[in-house]
Structure 1
Amino acid sequence: MTDLMPRVHQPAADTWPSLARPRSNPVRRAGAMAAIRLIAKDLPATIHLDNNRSYGLGGPAMRVHRSSAFLDRLGQDAGSGFGEAYLAGDWDPEPGTDLADLLVPFAERFSNEETRHLLPKWAQSLRWLVTRSQPGDQENDRAGARENVSRHYDLSNSMFAEFLDPTLTYSAAYFGDAATADLATASYDELTQAQLNKLDSILDAAGVESGSRVLDIGCGWASLAIRAAQRGAWVTAITIAPQQALLAQRKIAEAGVSDRVQVALRDYRDQIGEFDAVLSVEMIEAVGERYWPVYFDAIERRLAPGGVGVVQAIVMPHERMLATRNTFTWVQKYIFPGGLIPSIKVIEDVTATHTGLHVDVIRHLGADYARTLRIWRNRFVDRWPAIADLGFDHTFCRMWEFYLAYSEAGFRTNYLDDVQLRLTRR
């Protein structure tokens, strides 16, 4: 992958005030350094500090250009400091080291039960000093959900079009046996067919055919709605991102299915009517824990007798969800405000307690998502000159590279999974 950034990046202070170097605190800096030493004892990666000291067991390597700033960020905010240090240019992978390959050993530490609690108990008890809670302004009521979703999905239709496949499908593709192939062979040319495979797998699971009435909750840029309409279904596709809705309508018209698909700028809580299939792809992550019961109740209420729901969701192990659900992470701060990834168990519990729905896991797509993310990141970097022409700066590029690599590492280590769930009435 081409290295687009200067080796020591410096973000624009007026554009990225959150990346201003935090006030130095010797105690917190010392605590961050102690944590690095503990983590690096068994870490199959290498951390090179700018004082020529190195930690770790070898393997993928990172170079810290500004150790003091790096430690200050880690010491101030355990949830965001590492990622913010990358955005600020405090560290980079060593030349020749892929960013996701570097992040995998760190992700493994948090996905492995035996190595997750690396800090001694006395240190774990002090984590609250450097762990922040979710801010109240990211609440996912109707107004808050519109703001949160718009901050990501209305960034720029043109930007998303540069790195997604031509269907503009922004969720895990389905590669089948190819999902576990060497990621170095991942090619943009294979992405469109894999996305169509995923769309078809959802429609097949829901039994969508000619004449079916379909509701697509959180429709994205309408690739699933278009695919359903091409089967002869009647589709209502809803989103709360205005710019996304405009492009979705254009894509529907270009596909020649405007007579079968209605796009509405509408919250899922406000939808009415009955449908033979209710579909929702990777939207639950933006719902928020407080509204999970409302979300699944809305799905149940919209299902006609005998109807089927299919939800594709990013999930994490239940105990990790419980441990992190009240923390404010780098992803929530910079990528998905108000977001929270559920577990399969919590989905089963919520549906059992608040609805009459039964949940079946029909497919795991974790390896497929890792491959999807590698293709997106390669494409994003390759198309960066065109994206930069849209008005985005180098810090934005670093932010999206880190987000895509960080997510890829999560799926490669099973810290994250992606599942397709079939919902039927009990």
Structure 2
Amino acid sequence: MLGRIDQGLEFGAIEATLPSGRAVRLGGRGEGPVAVVVLHRWRAMLRLATGGSAGWYEAWVSGDWSSPDPVPLFDLFMRNGRALGNVGRAGRLTGIVRRFAHWSRRNHRANARRNIQFHYDLGNDFYRAWLDPSMTYSSALFADPADPLEAAQGRKLQAILDRTETKPGDTILEIGCGWGSFAERAARAGRRVHGLTLSSEQKRFVEQRMADAKLDGMEVSLTDYRDATGSYDAIASIEMVEAVGQEYWPAYLDAIAARLKPGGRAALQYIAIDDALFDAYANNVDFIQAYIFPGGLLLSTKRFRALAEARGLAWQDEHRFGQDYAETLYRWRLAFDAAETADDLPDNFPPGFANLWRYYLMYCEGGFRGGGIHVAQVTLVKRA
């Protein structure tokens, strides 16, 4: 396994200490980050070989390996994803078990609500402890790395609103409204926004947000996107489609096409994986799917775009900003660590929960820094 990793590291290197205490250097043939990893037990490599990235997380929890900073390691595995091939993917038998479990949580109507609640109904107090004051849980858009996170989030929300090309009095359907930061911005600009969510906690927060802001241009409902009705001047959907799953991409795009007026615009922000890596990724179950987002799947831009265009939705003005997401995740992790240190995280979670989320934030940050996954905004225009 170490030999396969060494051969697959075209960029960057790993400085590893083996269980015997011997130091080895893997890769180092091209420019890239250098990760420091201590293998305390060989069981770490067995878990990687059989369980992929989920097994590697389980090895970390068990103390089979450690690192002063795991982010460069996750960066390397994504940066070298093509050359590494299936290194880091679950083995055949474990993979079958994990794939069945993942399939059983696919996003039909009943499961979709359970899956969303699994992640988003952890409690508003939990997310409030480390998100920026706008409660925006998606990538910010930085003009400068020194930008305050709240300002960068505001820039992202405005960019989505601008893509709709709506004017005061126009209607916007927001598919996956989160805690209402976009809806509030759009309502303050005179738009009428109907937000959809499957999270009871989010709905409660948005309703309080509406009351506090005294805005009558916002409404929110616990509604599956497949059950939305009406006709809208525009649609916004910010990092919601990753929770849909490939099987339901057509239904998601059908809903957009059905709800948009002719000539209307849908402004999407989505996360995608390198198209060359998509098949191997989609046929496996990674750490995030196993532990964080049941039923989730990143997009293949090529495949998703083809489905959109087949439904009369023109793909326009795609803008990628993956490194902004890496910075966003880094800021969230600093805030998360500060909240834990200050004992501001809710105390109703099981032991190890905070470490799971810290690992998740580091894992995602490394993935974006490595470039194999990216976040983008795009405008879909319904042909008149």
On whether the aligned pair clears a TM of 0.5, the verdict is yes
Determine which of 187, 194, 197 is the counterpart of 1:239: 197
Residue-pair matches, total:
373
In structure 2, the CA distance between the partners of 1:325 and 1:210, relative to structure 1 (3 Å rule), is same
- Indicate how the Cα distance of structure 1 residues 56 and 392 shifts in structure 2: closer, same or farther if over 3 A, else same: farther
The question of 1:191 aligning with 2:149 is answered yes
Q: Confirm whether residue 69 of structure 1 aligns to residue 43 of structure 2.
A: yes
Is contact 2:5-2:84 (8 Å) kept?
Answer: no
Mapped partners of 2:158, 2:9: distance in 1: 44
Q: Which runs of 5+ in 1 are unaligned?
A: 1-31
Name the amino acid aligned to 1:226: E
Please, which of 298, 321, 327 is the counterpart of residue 365 of structure 1?
A: 321
Residue 417 of structure 1 aligns to a residue whose secondary structure is: strand
Hey, what's the Cα distance between the residues in 1 that align with 2:5 and 2:94?
Answer: 15
In structure 1, how many angstroms separate the alpha carbons of the residues matched to 2:376 and 2:58?
A: 29
CA offsets, 1:112-149, max 9 Å, x none?
x4x33487xxx99x953553425232110000101111
Of 310, 318, 342, 2:299 maps to: 342
Structure 1 distance, partners of 2:142, 2:12, is: 31
- Counterpart residue identity of residue 332, structure 2: W
1:143 and 2:114 equivalent? no
- Aligned partner of residue 200 in structure 1, secondary structure: helix
Change (3 A) 1:204 1:405: same
Identify which of 289, 312, 318 aligns with 1:356.
312
In the alignment, is the contact (CA less than 8 A) between 1:277 and 1:303 conserved in 2? yes
Partners of 2:375 and 2:9 in 1: CA distance: 30
Other-structure match for 1:160: 127
Which position in structure 2 is the counterpart of 1:22?
Answer: none
Q: Which amino acid aligns with 1:92?
A: S
CA contact (8 A) 2:125 2:345 kept: no
- Give the distance between the partners of 2:312 and 2:86, measured in 1 at CA: 42
**C-alpha distance in 2 between matches for 1:206 and 1:70:** 48
Offset at 1:384?
A: 0.9
Match of 1:116 in 2: 84
Counterparts of 1:52 and 1:130, CA distance in 2: 30
Match of 2:15 among 29, 34, 46: 46
**Counterpart secondary structure, 2:95:** coil
Structure 1 position 239, deviation (Å): 0.2
Superposition pairs for residues 8-47 of structure 1, below 5 Å?
Answer: 32=1, 35=4, 44-47=13-16
CA distance in 2, matches of 1:312, 1:40: 31
Q: How large is the RMSD of aligned CA atoms in angstroms?
A: 2.3
**1:84 — aligned with what?**
58
- Verify the 8 A CA contact 1:79 1:327 in the aligned structure 2: no
Q: Distance in 2 between matches of 1:350 and 1:118?
A: 27
Q: Any idea what the Cα deviations from partners look like across 1:61-82, whole Å, max 9, x if unmatched?
A: 12233x1432332233124111
Give the TM-score of the pair, scaled to structure 1. 0.82
Residues in 1 aligned to 2:11 and 2:235: alpha-carbon distance in whole angstroms: 47
Contact conserved, 1:134 with 1:327, CA < 8 A, in 2? no
Secondary structure class of the residue paired with 2:84: coil
Task: Label 1:40 to 1:290 Cα distance change in 2 as closer, same or farther (>3 A).
Answer: closer
Q: Which residue of 2 aligns with 1:294?
A: 251
Match of residue 272 from structure 1: 229
Q: 1:242 to 1:148 in 2, by over 3 A?
A: same
Return the offset for 1:319: 2.1
The letter for the 2-side match of 1:148 is: N
Q: What is the CA distance between 1:55 and its match in structure 2?
A: 2.8
